[in-house]
Structure 1
Amino acid sequence: MSEVRNGMRPIHPGEILREEFLVPLNLSANALAISVGVPAPRINDVVRERRGITADTALRLARYFGTSAEFWMGLQADHDLRLAERTANDALARIRRMEHATV
């Protein structure tokens, strides 16, 4: 993937799942799929960075690993925003901020 914003590529949540959870725990994607009650291709595709994490998957991963669904959804949202920023950069540069915009 190309670089975005701070010079780092967008990190897919599947990379976090693989490198921070599966590898250290010596857990296969198939074993995880069985444990959380989803089809193996769902977890395999996430781990291979071919598929994003859905709300349902986030809830299941949170329950299994003792994390929060917000953690997993936050990883996915950050990844999606960084990819969108990369593809929409030129279009965004042409948009002028509203003068009286308030936050």
Structure 2
Amino acid sequence: MTHVKMTPVHPGEILSEEFLSPMRISRAFIAKGLNLPEADIDDIVEGRRRIEADTALRLARFFGNSAQFWFGMQMQYDLDKADELHGDRIDKEVSVYRQES
């Protein structure tokens, strides 16, 4: 069976496509609501900046969801990118532990 690897989706894309656009919230408005520079929001939405723990807490407060939701998306993105960049090499370099009977 062949595994098809999907391109990792940055949480900023989720923020934009699933929250800002459908709710008609501008980047300037959310930046003000989060008390963050608009440039930070631009960088997150454009995939140039991570969602750090502090930002996850702010987004959770703003949208009424959990910081784990936002931070978890960032962690998953980071792991997917690491696997995309280094997974094949790590598979070759590291052997699976097998306990001897």
> Which residue, 58, 61, 67 being the options, matches 1:60?
58
Alignment of 1:1-103 (within 5 A): 6-94=4-92, 95-100=94-99
**Counterpart of 1:76 in structure 2: which amino acid?**
Q
**Counterpart of 2:96 in structure 1: which amino acid?**
R
Q: CA deviation at 1:93?
A: 1.4
Q: CA deviation at 1:49?
A: 1.1
**Counterpart of 2:98 in structure 1: which amino acid?**
E
Q: CA deviation at 1:39?
A: 1.1
Q: How many residues align?
A: 96
Q: CA deviation at 1:90?
A: 2.5
Relative to the length of structure 2, the TM-score reads 0.89
Mark the runs of 5 or more structure 1 residues left unpaired by the alignment.
none
**Counterpart of 2:97 in structure 1: which amino acid?**
M
Mark the runs of 5 or more structure 2 residues left unpaired by the alignment.
none
Percent identical residues: 45
Alignment check: 8 A CA contact 1:30 1:44 kept: no
Q: CA RMSD in A?
A: 1.1
Deviations 1:49-73 (A, max 9, x none): 1111000000000000011000001
Q: CA deviation at 1:9?
A: 1.0
Q: CA deviation at 1:6?
A: 3.8
Runs of 4+ in 1 over 2 A off after TM superposition: none
Q: CA deviation at 1:87?
A: 1.0
Q: SS of the counterpart of 1:84?
A: helix
**Counterpart of 1:99 in structure 2: which amino acid?**
R
Q: SS of the counterpart of 2:51?
A: coil
